[in-house]
Amino acid sequence: MKFSRLVKKLNALFNRKQRHKQRQRKELAAALNKLKEKQHELKDRLKNCDSELERAELEEKISILATQRRKGLHMLRETRRSESDNLE
């Protein structure tokens, strides 16, 4: 690792804003994992569902979760990309 990159990483450790952003990224990743688990759980419930009304509700919830996950993944990628740009 080049010295300049090492210095930038050390500065990131001591920089409060960067530590805060890193903590936010970890929390966002954890939330995305929970959304993914919930989506899989709802898909399993959908397979065993008999009622058309309940099926429609579950499909709507799955759609909402998928959209939330997609937006969250996009946000996570952007924050990681901006972090890597700052380190270089």
The structure's pTM equals 0.76
Which residues lie closer than 8 Å to 75 by C-beta, 6 or more apart?
28
- Look up residue 87 and give its two tokens: 């380190």
34 lies in which domain range? Answer: 3-87
Residue 72, Cβ neighbours under 10 Å: how many?
Answer: 16
Per 3-state DSSP, what percentage of the chain is helix, strand, and coil (rounded to 5)? Answer: 90, 0, 10
Give the pLDDT confidence of 43-66 residue by residue, as tens digits.
999 999 999 999 999 999 999 999
Q: What is the number of structural domains in the chain?
A: 1
Give the pLDDT confidence of 3-58 residue by residue, as tens digits.
888 887 787 778 888 888 889 999 999 999 999 999 999 999 999 999 999 999 99
